Every structure is written in structure tokens, then in C-alpha cells.
Structure 1
């Protein structure tokens, strides 16, 4: 691990929280955490479950777990006790690391944490994976996903070959959770390996993000998800920001109107990344030159079969699951609809494969309907699902009525494509990674 993540000099700053943390300090803290984990019962070949919010404690205990030759089970700190207990019973870690005391407020991106380590079982890890993650669950129950150390290192090296990522000596303004793949590999692991400073803003707000950009003179890339683009697109910068190099977003597709609002306001590229928990980054368009298409990341093959995008993946990433509709013969089935241009190799993601429905014998793509709804004036975000008919859930961005919405849609969509039911919600439900929830049952509950 040291050869990949602790390269460079001991006095190189790797984190700003906002006080700088150099690699020498981080290495010392990781060594001390190793001792505490071992005293609590963690052994080589075992597993430690980390239920910590974004914090220096999370980074230290994650690296200490790997340095101990153990598996890290990453549990989002926002999961309920019931969800965590269910995961622990299934995965049986040797120790659980959780906060004893946390401070800083709900909107802090990184918080001050005093952690405690509790023995849980004496069993070895259930697989040889270096990390266990739970999928975001945006379309249904979470899956247990494992990635090997070789796979993680390969992805870190993949990032170094992508044109447009933050370079050594630059900064990443880190917004996504490090429990999930974008923040974990694209932020933390790549930053440590490449000598890029990781600088989370003090609070999750547009002004605080811009303040983090302006805090140092070095070039800065803002790394986030579409929710964060909205924050910045609606924030007026106090002045010029020559340090801002670009914003890169992962997760769901960014509506064209949101992308335009961002680039018009800041005058820098809005880059897009497409990836999955199972394999990490799949493709990128970090200069915004191919929107909505992306170019496959180095070493990644993408093909289209029957309208579905499939990604090269040598071994199944699913723990305790054998499902040939998700992985078979070295190919991961993304369940995303899309195309691969035979001449350029560019990949266009068109939405979920299950977004095609039949209305009166006519085929309707719910992704098309959702895009139309999301781009209407007064709409902040939208999800369109099939729930005994086309149903739209809308988060207004200003005054908006169902009557107005229905009138605007009648001007833009054929009658058979229009939502039969409209719901206006103050806030649409999102997953822990910031993706919009697409489960019809969960949306129904939110609306009621």
C-alpha cells in the first residue's frame, strides 16, 4: 500500500481539513490506528467494518485496515441501525469502527470524529476482496460488491492516464462521500497516489465550495455529483476565480440546462464521468467536448448487446450472488441502455434499460419523458417512473403548479407520452451518493 499511496516526501501536504495534513503525519496516524485495531482483534485476513462519516478518522482507519492485511467493509454513516445490523450479520467483520463523538454540524463535509473500535466476531473475511461496498440502491435493494487490491490499484493507475484529471501539485475540492467509488478512488486514492491535495470545503454550500477553491493559489478541480452542480449553478461567485480549472461530476446524467447554467456562470469545462461501484470509472468526457457521449477510460472495453451497455470485468464483483444477467463471461451487464459509435468508440448512455414501456401499444422511453420534464422552466429535478401508468415526481425550482406543468408538457410531448400522474415534492428522495431514487414504491411513500 505504501508504494501506491505514500509516494513522495513526508512533508508533502495531502489533506487540508482545513489545517494541512502531510504524508508523514498521515503515516504516523495510520500506524497508531493499526495498533488499536490489532488490540481490538483485527487480524490479517479478517475484516473491519467502518461506519464513520467523512473525516480524518475515516481515512486513517481505512488505510490502517489495508495496512493490516485486512478487508475494509464500508458502511455509509447515514444508514440506519437496522440496515447496519443486517449488513454486519451477513459480513461478520472482526471489528466495527464507529464514532463515539462527532462534531461540526450537519452541513460539514468533513467532521471531527473520535472513533471507538468494538470487537464483533473472530471469523476471517468472507472473501479475498480488499474492499466491500454496498451499491447505491437507487433502483432497488443494495447489492454487496467486492473489489480486489489489484482492481483498486489498476483503477488508480487508470486515472493517471485520463486527460483532464487534477495533476500533481493541484487540488481536488472533494464533495462526494469517500464510502462510494467516486470519492474513494477518484478522490482519496488517486489524490494520495498522484500528489494532489484533497480539500473538502468546510460546509456543503455553494459559497463554501467557492471559498475552498479560492483558499489556495494552485489550480483546483471540483469533484462532485449532479446535486453539487446545482449548488454552484445557483451561487454567484464573489469575483474571478482563476484557480478554478473545471468541475467533474459522476453519477447520473446531467440535464443540458443545468450544464449550460454552470458553464455560462463559471466559464470552465463541466466534465462528466460514467462509472459503477462494480468497476469504478468506465468512461469520461472531462472537457465537455462530447456531451452526452463519453470516451472509454484507458484499459476499459465497452460494448453494446441488445441495446444494453456491457463493460469488461474479468471476475464477478458480486459477493454471494450468482446472476448471469448481471455478470457473465468477463462482461458486466450495466442495465444501462446505450450505444457505442463504431468509428470513434464514443459511448452514449441513454438511461436505464428498463425505461422502455408500452402505452396503448406505443413504445415510450421514460428517459425521454424525464428529460423533457427536467428541462421545463421552474423544475429543479424530476424522476419519471412507470407505476400503473407514466408517473412524474417533480421538485420545483420556484413557483410551479401541476396545472402549469401539465400545460407545458402538452406543448412538448405527444399525448401517449405525457405523465398520467404528476406529484410536486419539496425535495425528491436521493441515495447516499446523491442520485435520485427511482424506486416507484419509495417515490410513492415520499409523495404521501
Structure 2
């Protein structure tokens, strides 16, 4: 399927002209979005961008960013999507590796993110050494890199449309006329596909708070009468810490993904807002794979969504794909004989088909001939009242990285673990900080070198 032929009918064709597609500080209607996209597409054509061109896109989260992305797709461009917060050390190797013909970059990358903007200025630069697309992927993304170097992943129009079909098959998700607050990064799969693209296709409205603070999130949800909030566990944990929880009578759904949901966050959010947190699961390579939209208590996730074929091999979830999602063909251990390995462990309830998250495949280690699940050790540590977050790794011995505003001394943590874990499971090294580093999608970093350098 040509890139230029799928985006308009599938994404911008839904909804009435006056219906808002996005609300931040102001509203933008679908007709305004269509006009802006058409104008940008003409300008990009004047730069020579067309079917099969490659463009590296790195822009601040904004309405401008979404318009630019859609305009590039309307020209048949392959978009290489890079997080605007990438440092030069992260960004420049990608340019050398992927060799885009053009780079579109916005101003103001220094410092922490300041929130969502409506208009941002951007630059268009051509690269004579760049090369056209070598695959039919319309979108090239990068995995979160929470466990090491990010993977280069290509999504075709067919892949994206199949994922949007999976969203449309779930009646609990926002539909025509609904409004959803999106807190996820719009560069990564949940924010971009589950949030923006799905809303466009279904005729729903995306609500993006100008600032990602609890007060702004709750204000936006209340004033727009949003029926859903999408985020990661860290967002919902913030919402459980507010001094007051205003009533949100229109809220029917709260969806989290990206990493395991702590039970205490699930319970406190439900208590405060009278809506259970629903977990979804997916990977960048395929997008949405499983969802528990009735809000089952963690670690139960829910069943796989319609339209995907999965199997569990030795607790690892694998997904059937017709082709490798890796355009560089550099992941031979992840795509094997038509199956994508997720490297995530699940248990399945044979009676209901529901999946329960067990942890990463690499969280199961052998020590002294005995199997130790590092996810269990993390659960024990998180049960400590002064521990807000933790990462447990195995490097010669079990190491625990613990975060919390008033995190206890290592000696107290040692005593805590000895009372609750067998000696082989108890961490031998503790590293304590007020907060542990997270990547750009909000996931805790699980790379040992990155953790040690950040503490």
C-alpha cells in the first residue's frame, strides 16, 4: 500500500469539519487540521519531498508536530521519528546510521520538557548524502531502550491500519464524539497510535494538557468532560498524590501501559476517582496486543485483542508476524520463523484467556542452581512503605536500586528483605536515591551502566 493513499481516508476522513480533533489551550477543528496539513504538504513538495523520500523528524510535542507528520505522510514520505529530547550523542549516530535525505527539527531542545505547545517553529534541512527509503515502512521508530540500546523498528501502512482496526474492535475505547486526555509521549506508540491516530480515525478528540502537572491534567479532564485518560503508571501515581481529587463524572476509562502497574497505585486511583485503572500491553514492533479494559487487579492484564495471533513458549509471549519489523535486519534473535519474541513473561488463565504479567524474560536468573525471579524481589521491596520505586538486576550478585523521597538506609532494606525472602533471593548490594532515572516514555531505566551513572 502506498503511503500517500492510506493516511487521508483512514485518518483525516473521519469526523465532521467543525468537530475538534484536538484541545490544548484552544481547540483545532478537523477542517483546520486538513487545511494546515495540505499547506504543509505543498511546502514540503517544493523542497523536493515525495514518494519514498526519507525525513528525520525531531520536534517538540505540539499541534505543529502532528500536522507536519501527517503532511509528510501525505507526500508518501518515510518518517524517521526521533524524540525531541534526544541528546547529540543519541541523535547524531541515528543520522549517520539511517542517512535521511532531509531533517525537520524544531527549536528549543535544551532543558526539560515544558509541556505541550500549539505552534512551534521548525527548520527543514536537506542532506545530499541521504538515501531514499529502502523499505515500504512509512514510520521508523526506536524502542524505549529501557534495557539498553534502542532497536530500529519499521511500521508499514498495513501494520498501522491493522493496529487501528484492533482499537476500533474494542467498544470500551473512545469513539466518535468522545474526548480522551493523552499524557503519553506523542513520539512513542501508545501516545501516537493509541492516542492521536486512533482518535483521528474514530472521530474522537485528543485532549493534551499544556503542562503535565496533576492540577492541569485534572482541570483538562474536568473542563473537556473527557471520558478517558491515557498515561503510564507514573502519571497515575501523581494523580493519587493530589491533596484533593475533584469529581470527574464523565470519566469512564483510565488506561495505562509501558510497564507493570503497582497494585498500590491501582487501588488508590480506584478509591479516589471511582474508575479502575485498565492495563494495556503492546510492543513498538506491533502496537496494541492485549488489554484488560474492565480493570482487572494487577498482575492480571486481560486477554489478547482481536486480530492478533500469539503463543506462549516457556512463559514468553510471541506474536505471529508476516515479516520482520526490523528494517536493518539486525535482530535475528527477536524475529524467528515468523514469530516475534517479546522477551516478556506471562501466565495465561486457560478458563478466561486472561494474561498475567510475570516480568521480563531476563528477570529470571539462576543463582546457585536455583531459579530466582527478580520481579518477585522488586515486589517485596516496593511493599516497604518508604520505597516508591525499585529496579533489581543481577550482575555477579543481585543488586537493588531503590528510590523514594525518604528511602531507608541500606541496613534497613537488608533487614526487610531477610524477613521476607530466602537468602538466595535477597539483594547483596543496595543503591538508594530520592528518585531512579526513567526514560522518555516514563519507564524505569533497567540498564546497569545507565543506573550507576545516574546515581
Q: TM bucket by the smaller chain?
A: over 0.9
Q: Give CA-to-partner distance per residue, 1:176-222, whole Å, 9 cap, x none.
A: 11111001110010011111111111211111110111112x34211
Runs of at least 5 residues in structure 2 that lack an aligned partner in the other structure? 1-6
Comparing 336-345 with 347-356, greater Cα deviation is found at 336-345
Matching of residue 402 in structure 1 with residue 410 in structure 2: yes
Superposed, which structure 2 residues align to 1:304-383 within 5 Å?
Answer: 304-383=312-391
The size of the alignment, in residue pairs, is 446
Matching of residue 156 in structure 1 with residue 197 in structure 2: no
Q: Distance in 2 between matches of 1:34 and 1:385?
A: 48
- CA displacement at 1:105 relative to structure 2: 7.9
Matching of residue 178 in structure 1 with residue 186 in structure 2: yes
**3-state DSSP class of the match of 2:67?**
helix
Comparing 201-210 with 271-280, greater Cα deviation is found at 201-210
Q: Distance in 2 between matches of 1:398 and 1:251?
A: 26
Matching of residue 419 in structure 1 with residue 427 in structure 2: yes
402, 414, 431: which one pairs with 2:439? 431
Q: Distance in 1 between matches of 2:303 and 2:89?
A: 40
Q: Give CA-to-partner distance per residue, 1:346-377, whole Å, 9 cap, x none.
A: 22221111112222332211111112112221
- CA displacement at 1:41 relative to structure 2: 2.8
Runs of at least 5 residues in structure 1 that lack an aligned partner in the other structure? none
210, 214, 225: which one pairs with 2:232? 225
Q: Distance in 1 between matches of 2:132 and 2:282?
A: 30
Do 2:64 and 2:118's aligned partners in 1 also have CA atoms closer than 8 Å? no
Matching of residue 75 in structure 1 with residue 82 in structure 2: yes
Do 1:102 and 1:113's aligned partners in 2 also have CA atoms closer than 8 Å? no
Do 1:336 and 1:352's aligned partners in 2 also have CA atoms closer than 8 Å? yes
Do 2:365 and 2:394's aligned partners in 1 also have CA atoms closer than 8 Å? yes
Aligned to 1:4: 10
Residue 103 to residue 25, structure 1, CA distance change in 2 (3 Å): farther
Aligned to 1:245: 252
Q: Distance in 2 between matches of 1:265 and 1:338?
A: 29
Q: Distance in 1 between matches of 2:247 and 2:86?
A: 39
Q: Give CA-to-partner distance per residue, 1:116-152, whole Å, 9 cap, x none.
A: 1111245311321010001110111111000100110
Aligned to 2:141: 133
Do 2:266 and 2:276's aligned partners in 1 also have CA atoms closer than 8 Å? no
Q: Distance in 2 between matches of 1:381 and 1:290?
A: 19
Comparing 241-250 with 150-159, greater Cα deviation is found at 241-250
TM-score by length of 2: 0.94
Residue 129 to residue 316, structure 1, CA distance change in 2 (3 Å): same
Comparing 330-339 with 272-281, greater Cα deviation is found at 330-339
Do 1:110 and 1:200's aligned partners in 2 also have CA atoms closer than 8 Å? no
Do 2:232 and 2:256's aligned partners in 1 also have CA atoms closer than 8 Å? yes
